[in-house]
């Protein structure tokens, strides 16, 4: 333990010292390198800046020292048994597991990307802490940063991702059963700012899509409002999945993949054509396996190539802007995803479907037990009338 600091340096961070130059009466600040003997760095005369620099260097030094200590402790199996793995070690292992799941097509790339983002955040913020010793307060401090910045949806996503992370740690035995500090944090409530897509606004947007430069956006809108599919699922549709009078599609959000069979004769109350007619129009004069594909040459595109979900969102947003929809002051414009809600609402109003839940591919606990197991897909046949 080092000797007590002199009175003149007690208000300064560790390793930072002041020195009065009697020749000019100025006070200079020096930083003593804690790694070496008698090595000093001049920090000038700006006290506030010298303190900030010293705090940053101390943080880097102590983090490096803690990391070095952890590496030494990790070589002792008794330490790991008693104190458990670090957040960094578990996070890296968990990420590899999710990458294997992606390669096995158990999760989508977008899911992997989101998981990677929040696992890396967990490692960066809590990496040196032992999994068994992470407190609710440590988790709350991270979440509070995002809440204070007004990023409530992001904070909620982080909380949900870390709850799952600690559940995985329970399954692997890295923490005790029931230990989940993320789940013990206060739920984050926020109001969704995105506007719903109203029928009249949809009709205006749809009319604009008929003369829009990218013809595929019209077809994507028609399919989305007819089937209620998410943009990612619309983007993935292929002509080979049309058979036996149905369009069969996997639902990407389902943890154990669900297949929905849409009858080609199904017709949205908002359109004057059925699903089969829409798909026929999508073919055009281009040979492509994808139902939603590029039909014209453009910069950085290949004719016949799949249109990604992001492009659907971007062009739909442009149509919304062109339509000049009136919004409430605290609301943001509707996105492509709102076609899904509009589809469900239109069928409820028109009594077109017996089960809108089937249309959207949602599962209840009863239907999960009845239809899903580890070896088979659940095929939901949407009933018309």
Q: Is 375 a catalytic residue?
A: no
H/E stretch holding 160 = helix 152-171
Structure tokens at 174: 């890295």
Of 32, 194, 371, 377, which residue is the catalytic one? 371
Q: Is 310 one of the catalytic residues?
A: no
Work out the number of other CB atoms within 10 angstroms of the CB of residue 332. 11
35 included as an active-site residue: no
**DSSP characters over 224-286:** HHHH---HHHHHH-BGGGEETTEEEEEETT-SS-EEEEEETT-B-TT-SSBHHHHHHHHHTTS
Which one of 340, 347, 363, 378 is the catalytic residue?
340
CA-nearest of 270, 272, 290, 274 to 282 is 290
Task: Kindly give, in sequence order, each residue whose CB lies less than 8 Å from that of residue 316, ignoring residues fewer than 6 positions away.
Answer: 205, 217, 220, 221, 335, 336
Of 19, 151, 194, 362, catalytic:
362
User: Of the residues 253, 308, 331, 377, which is catalytic?
Assistant: 253
Residue 258 region by backbone torsions, left for phi larger than 0, else alpha for psi between -120 and 50, else beta: beta
- HEC string of 343-376? HHHHHHHHCCECCHHHHHCCCCHHHHHHHCCCCC
The catalytic position among 47, 238, 257, 337 is 337
Kindly state the helix (H) or strand (E) to which residue 153 belongs, with its residue range.
Answer: helix 152-171
The yes-or-no answer on residue 137 being catalytic is no
Q: Which residues contact 61 (CB under 8 A, 6 or more apart)?
A: 34, 35
Distance from C-alpha of 265 to C-alpha of 153, rounded to nearest angstrom? 39
State the CB neighbour count (10 A cutoff) for residue 194. Answer: 14
For the question of residue 300 being annotated catalytic, the response is no
- From the candidates 230, 246, 267, 290, give the one annotated as an active-site residue: 230
Q: Is 315 exposed, middle or buried (0-12, 13-18, 19+ CB in 10 A)?
A: buried
**151 tagged catalytic:** no
Any idea which residues carry the catalytic annotation?
Answer: 230, 253, 337, 340, 362, 371
């Amino acid at each position: 333990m080092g000797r007590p600091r002199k009175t003149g340096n007690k208000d300064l961070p560790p390793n930072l010292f002041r020195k009065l130059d009697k020749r000019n009466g100025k006070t200079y600040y020096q930083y003593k390198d804690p790694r070496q003997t008698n090595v000093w760095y001049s920090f000038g005369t700006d006290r506030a800046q010298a303190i900030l620099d010293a705090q940053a260097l101390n943080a880097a030094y102590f983090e490096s020292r803690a990391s070095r200590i952890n590496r030494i402790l990790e070589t002792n199996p008794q330490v790991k048994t008693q104190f458990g793995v670090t957040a960094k070690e578990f996070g890296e292992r968990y990420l590899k597991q999710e990458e294997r799941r992606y390669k096995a097509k158990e999760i989508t790339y977008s899911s992997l990307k989101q998981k990677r983002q929040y696992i890396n955040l967990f490692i960066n913020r809590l990496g040196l802490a032992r999994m068994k010793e992470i407190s609710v307060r440590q988790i709350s401090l991270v979440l509070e940063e995002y809440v204070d910045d007004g990023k409530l949806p992001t904070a909620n996503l982080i909380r949900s991702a870390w709850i799952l992370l600690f559940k995985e740690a329970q399954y692997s035995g890295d923490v005790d059963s029931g230990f989940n500090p993320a789940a013990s944090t206060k739920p984050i409530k926020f109001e969704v700012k995105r506007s719903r897509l109203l029928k009249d606004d949809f009709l205006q947007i749809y009319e604009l899509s008929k003369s829009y430069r990218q013809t595929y956006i019209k077809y994507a809108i028609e399919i989305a409002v007819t089937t209620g599919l998410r943009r990612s699922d619309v983007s993935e549709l292929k002509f080979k999945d049309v058979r036996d009078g149905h369009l069969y599609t996997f639902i990407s959000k389902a943890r154990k993949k669900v297949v929905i069979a849409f009858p080609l004769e199904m017709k949205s109350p908002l359109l004057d054509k059925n699903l089969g007619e829409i798909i026929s129009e999508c073919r055009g004069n281009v040979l492509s396996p994808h139902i939603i594909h590029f039909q014209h040459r453009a910069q950085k595109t290949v004719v016949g190539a799949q249109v990604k979900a992001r492009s659907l969102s971007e062009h739909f947003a442009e149509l919304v802007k062109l339509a000049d929809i009136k919004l409430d002051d605290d609301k943001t414009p509707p996105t492509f995803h709102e076609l899904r809600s509009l589809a469900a609402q239109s069928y409820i109003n028109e009594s077109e479907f017996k089960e809108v839940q089937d249309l959207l591919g949602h599962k209840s606990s009863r239907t999960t037990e009845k239809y899903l197991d580890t070896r088979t897909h659940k095929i939901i046949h949407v009933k018309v009338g």
